[in-house]
Amino acid sequence: MRLKTATSAGETVEDAARVMARYAAGLGIRILEDKVGYYGEGDELLREYARWGDFPVISMAHDKYHPCQGLADVMGWAEWFGKGPGKGLDMSVLEGKKLLISWGHGALARSWCSVQEAMLIGSRFGMDVTVASPEGYDLDPQVVEWARENCKVNQANFAITHDVKAGYRGAHVVYSRHWMSPQAYRDGEFLKQAEIDRALKYPEWICDTEKMKLTDNAIFTHPMPIDRSHEVTDEVASGPRSCIYDVAENRLHVQKAIMALTMGNL
């Protein structure tokens, strides 16, 4: 599909959404960071489809949020702190657990969607949330404020640090993933190579065994694909406290649940 823009011919979102609503019971949309010209454009496009499409429109990841991943994340964490994968869920086990969301260096320029989703959903379930990154890698201020408010409502703690090790102390869940800087877009262009070059200047920002020893026997989590040897070492990612494959499997289960809840009666 080629959408109409200010400089090119194509189909409007209204026409595309209304036609697809005649074909299907729902629409999943995934918008990659290099397919938009500024932060927030993907979110605007998704909401425009929802405005015109007379059917459920589900984000499969866009520049602001990744709801399916967030649900898979908390399902996996609750399984690990509960009875185990596939043995039922008690989401209350996450209350009071510390979630560390740590920036990871690497040869990728990744959007904010997964880490912002983890921050929001972890804080909704009563987790203490710490966000760690080098200076200059701040996330969306509005999303940060929402997470802070969630923690306040749940009498949990919210913190931001620029210390590479401090956030690990006492953590129960460690989420180490690269994300782009607020300068990733300029004049409608995604500056991918500049972001990669910038990120590679911080090799100390990697999740490794030394840092994991500072935690409260934390589990390691990641939405995958992992930039191994940059975001995290193999020893941690493939270690006995890694829940990455359980979380990956959970994407299937939560997405089936979303389709059943939103489309089951159509």
Convert the pLDDT of each residue in 2-37 to its tens digit. 565 655 667 899 999 999 999 999 999 999 999 999
Looking at residue 149, its amino acid is E
Worst-scoring range by mean pLDDT, 52-56, 238-242, 261-265? 261-265
Q: 123-146 burial, b for 16+ CB within 10 Å, e for fewer?
A: bbbbbbbbbbbbeebebbeebbeb
Q: Which residue has the higher pLDDT, 1 or 169?
A: 169
Q: Domains of the chain, with CATH numbers? A: 13-63 (no CATH), 67-248 (3.40.50.1370)
Q: Which of 17, 4, 11 is nearest to 50 (CA)?
A: 17
Q: How confident is the model at residue 106 (pLDDT cuts 50, 70, 90)?
A: confident
Q: How confident is the model at residue 86 (pLDDT cuts 50, 70, 90)?
A: confident
Backbone φ and ψ of 59, nearest 5°: -75, 125
The DSSP annotation for 176-201 comes to EE----TTSEETTEE-HHHHHHHHTT
Q: Which residue has the higher pLDDT, 11 or 237?
A: 237
Q: What pLDDT shows up at residue 264? A: 87
Average pLDDT (124-147) is 98
Average pLDDT (100-108) is 94
Average pLDDT (169-173) is 98
Inter-residue contact 95 to 107 (CB < 8 Å): no
Give the CA distances from residue 263 to residues 47, 165, 266, in Å, rounded to whole numbers and listed in that order: 18, 45, 5
**In terms of pTM, does the model score above 0.85?**
yes
Average pLDDT (122-132) is 98
Q: How confident is the model at residue 59 (pLDDT cuts 50, 70, 90)?
A: very high
E strand or H helix that includes residue 252: helix 244-263
Q: What pLDDT shows up at residue 212? A: 98
Q: What pLDDT shows up at residue 6? A: 59
